[in-house]
Amino acid sequence: MSADAEKVVGELRAQLPEPHGPVLPGDRHRLLREHLMNEIHQVQVQDKVQDKARGEKAPTAVRPRRNRAWYAVPVGMAAAGALAFTFLAGPGGNGGDTGYHLSAAPVVKVEVGSANGVGALMENVAERASEGPASRVGVNQFVYVRSHYSNMQAKDGSPLKLKTYYREAWTSQNPDKVQSRLNQPGDDIIWSAPRDGDEGLAEWNRNHTYAALEKLPTQPDALLKQLRKDAAYSGSSDQDLFNYVGGLINENILPPETGAAIYRAAAKIPGVVALDKAQDGDGRPGVALARTDEKDHERKELVFDANSYDYLGMRAYLVQNTELGKKGTVTEMQAVLDRGVVDSRDETPKK
C-alpha cells in the first residue's frame, strides 16, 4: 500500500470509536470497509498512473460499488464520522455471507425511450400517489421497507458480478434523535445521528421526515427547484437530481399530495424518458421513468406497475459498451416487497 493510501486508512480509522469488549467479526465492518476501499481506490488510481509513468506494474484494484439504495446520506459526512454505527446480533448479523447470492450480471435489451411519453406516464403515477393513505407517520415511528436488492461487485479485468440479497430498512422519523436501522446478510446495524457538531447531517434528517416532506411545495416547478437545491450535496447535474428523486421514493413513504407533486416534478428533469417495457429487481414487468448518466453511460429506471402505477423498484444498466461491461449489463436492481409504518425498529408491518 502506498504512503498516500496508508494515510487515508489512518485518517479514517482515527474517526472510528475505540473498540470496547471483544473484537467484532470482520464481516460486521463490511459497510465501513467498503467505504474505506472506495477511498483507497481513488488513491490507487493515482498510484497506477504514476507507476505507469515509471514503467512499474501496479496491483489490480478492487472496485466495490456503493450501495445507493439506502439513505441518500452525504458520503462525505459519513466519512467524517457524522454517523455512529451500532452493530447488532440477530438475523443477518452472524458475520458470514449467508443470504448473499453472487452471480454473473445479466445482460438486458436496451429499450428505446421516449421523451414524449413522460408527461402522461408521470401524471398517471401522480394520480395513483395522490390516492395513498393520508394517515401521517408519527415522529416516534419508523418507515419499514423490505426489498430484494442487487449491487455490482467488480474487479479490474474480471467479469462484472452482482451480489443479490434481501434487506430491511427502518427509517427514523425523529429529526432530533435518529436511530435508523439496516438489516442485511452479514450486517445488522443502527445508524445513530446527529451528534453534537453534525449540523449538516442534522439538517438533512430534518428535511426528510414525513412531516418535513409534507411541507414541500406542491407546485411542480417550485418543487423541482427545491429538490435540486436539496440534491446539491451529491452534485449539481440533472443525473444527481434524478438519483435524488429515486432515493426519496425507494425506501420512504411519501405524503399523498407531496408524492404526486414529486412525480410531476420528476417529469420535468431534463433528459428523462418513458419506457413501455421495464423490469424491477424481481423481474416483475412494468413501465419506467428513466435517465442515462452521460458520464458513465448507465441508465437508471424507476419502475412502476403498468396497471396500478404503484412503484415496484429500480434497475440500472449500461447503455453502451464500457470498461465495466458490454451494452445492457445490469449494474444494480431493487424490488420493493413490503412497505409500512411501525412503532419500533424491531417490528415489521402487520398483515
Q: Could you give the CA distance from residue 72 to residue 251 in angstroms, rounded to a whole number?
A: 10
Total Cβ atoms within 10 A of residue 90: 9
Q: Could you give the CA distance from residue 89 to residue 248 in angstroms, rounded to a whole number?
A: 29
* pLDDT for the residue numbered 178: 75
More confident of the two residues 263 and 76 = 263
Q: Which residues pair with 336 in a beta bridge?
A: 147
Residue 106 clears pLDDT 70, i.e. is over it: yes
Give me the numbers of helices (H) and strands (E) for the chain, helices first please: 9, 12
- Percentage of residues in the chain with pLDDT exceeding 70? 67
More confident of the two residues 109 and 20 = 109
Q: Could you give the CA distance from residue 295 to residue 239 in angstroms, rounded to a whole number?
A: 10
More confident of the two residues 65 and 217 = 217
User: pLDDT by residue (tens digit) across 136-195?
Assistant: 899 999 999 999 999 988 666 677 789 999 999 998 898 777 788 999 998 898 877 655
Residue 20 CB partners (closer than 8 Å, separation 6+)? none
User: pLDDT by residue (tens digit) across 250-289?
Assistant: 888 999 999 999 999 999 999 999 999 999 999 999 999 9
Mark 270-299 as b/e (b = at least 16 C-beta within 10 Å). Answer: ebbbbbeebbbbeeeebbbbbbbbeeeebb
Evaluate whether 309 touches 288 at the Cβ level (below 8 Å).
Answer: no
User: pLDDT by residue (tens digit) across 16-31?
Assistant: 333 333 333 333 333 3
Residue for cell digits 451494452? 327
Nearest to 253 by CA among 123, 346, 342: 342
Evaluate whether 287 touches 163 at the Cβ level (below 8 Å).
Answer: no
* pLDDT for the residue numbered 153: 83
User: pLDDT by residue (tens digit) across 300-314?
Assistant: 999 999 999 999 999
Q: Give pTM, 2 decimals.
A: 0.76
Residue 238 clears pLDDT 90, i.e. is over it: yes
Q: Which residues pair with 73 in a beta bridge?
A: none
Residue 205 clears pLDDT 60, i.e. is over it: yes
Q: Could you give the CA distance from residue 334 to residue 251 in angstroms, rounded to a whole number?
A: 10
* pLDDT for the residue numbered 191: 76
- Identify the top-confidence range among 95-109, 133-147, 192-206: 133-147
Name the phi and psi angles at 237, rounded to 5. Answer: -80, 165
- Percentage of residues in the chain with pLDDT exceeding 90? 52
* pLDDT for the residue numbered 175: 79
Residue 271 is given by DSSP the state T
* pLDDT for the residue numbered 161: 87
Evaluate whether 92 touches 274 at the Cβ level (below 8 Å).
Answer: no
The single-letter code of the amino acid at 216 is L
Coil/strand/helix, residue 148: strand
Binned at pLDDT 50, 70 and 90, residue 330 comes out as: very high
Q: Could you give the CA distance from residue 211 to residue 208 in angstroms, rounded to a whole number?
A: 8
